[in-house]
Amino acid sequence: MYQPKKIIVVTGHFGSGKTNFSTALALSLAKTGAPVTVVDFDLVNPYFRTADFKEAFAKRGITLRAPDYANTNVDIPSVQFDLGGLAAAEGYLIIDVGGDEDGAIALGRYSHVLNSYAETNELDMLAVVSFRRYLTRTAEETVAYLRGIERASRMKLTHIVNNTNLGMETTAEMIRESMPQCEALSEAMGLPVACVTVPEFVEPFELPGYDVMQVPVAVRLPWMPKSEAVQ
């Protein structure tokens, strides 16, 4: 079973569900009683950010750090927090990185700090993948995509998260159908699968040999009532 390290870097393609997964992971880890800090490091996409869940995190004792422009109309972000200090603090640190190579470039500024934790086996870098997204529909496409993220960030991925989904249209069969591509990606990159996610509105099911993580609907689309999202 996957055991999260002290520092968890979450990256992947735009729309793969990184933010929803990061939020679900933070909520899960907070239940252990350990301190949890989430860094919204998406310096590219102003939508669907972990900064949107400040109130929900506060209710559960989760600390959120975000660039100054999060949830404002400022175009240029200002990173005012000490990532090295946050990494050294007690508890878990989840870093939600912007999608694609552009987001990974910003992370690369701190690679010397984060790689020191990777060397002591205190850091995971998760690739959140949806095989229903453009450019990651096949294992071959996804390998090329993820290698680009590694180059831009100057860091190495450690695990894959199969987060295949079509939003509220996600079905159990859709997730099962994605497993051959997930297994091919795991083999091609030499990376284990940390877990396979299942939205909370899908009936739980087992996938022999894999951890199945049921995740709440954290990212609320504009037309969804608030009752359907994490509050």
Indicate the number of domains in the chain.
Answer: 1
pLDDT digits (tens, 9 = 90+) for 28-39: 999 999 999 999
80 domain residue, yes or no: yes
Tokens of 80: 């005012």
1 domain residue, yes or no: no
Instruction: Note down the domain range covering 156.
Output: 7-228
59 domain residue, yes or no: yes
Nearby residues of 119 by Cβ (< 8 Å), 6 or more positions away: none
153 domain residue, yes or no: yes
11 domain residue, yes or no: yes
2 domain residue, yes or no: no
180 domain residue, yes or no: yes
Nearest C-alpha neighbor of 39 from the set 97, 80, 85, 89: 97
Entry pTM: 0.88
Judged against a pLDDT cut of 50, whether residue 228 lies above it is answered with no
Looking at residue 215, which CATH number applies to its domain?
Answer: 3.40.50.300
155 domain residue, yes or no: yes
Supply the mean pLDDT for the chain: 87
Burial class (CB in 10 A: 0-12, 13-18, 19+), 75: exposed
pLDDT digits (tens, 9 = 90+) for 42-86: 766 555 566 667 788 989 999 998 876 545 544 444 566 788 999
Q: What is the pLDDT of residue 223?
A: 46
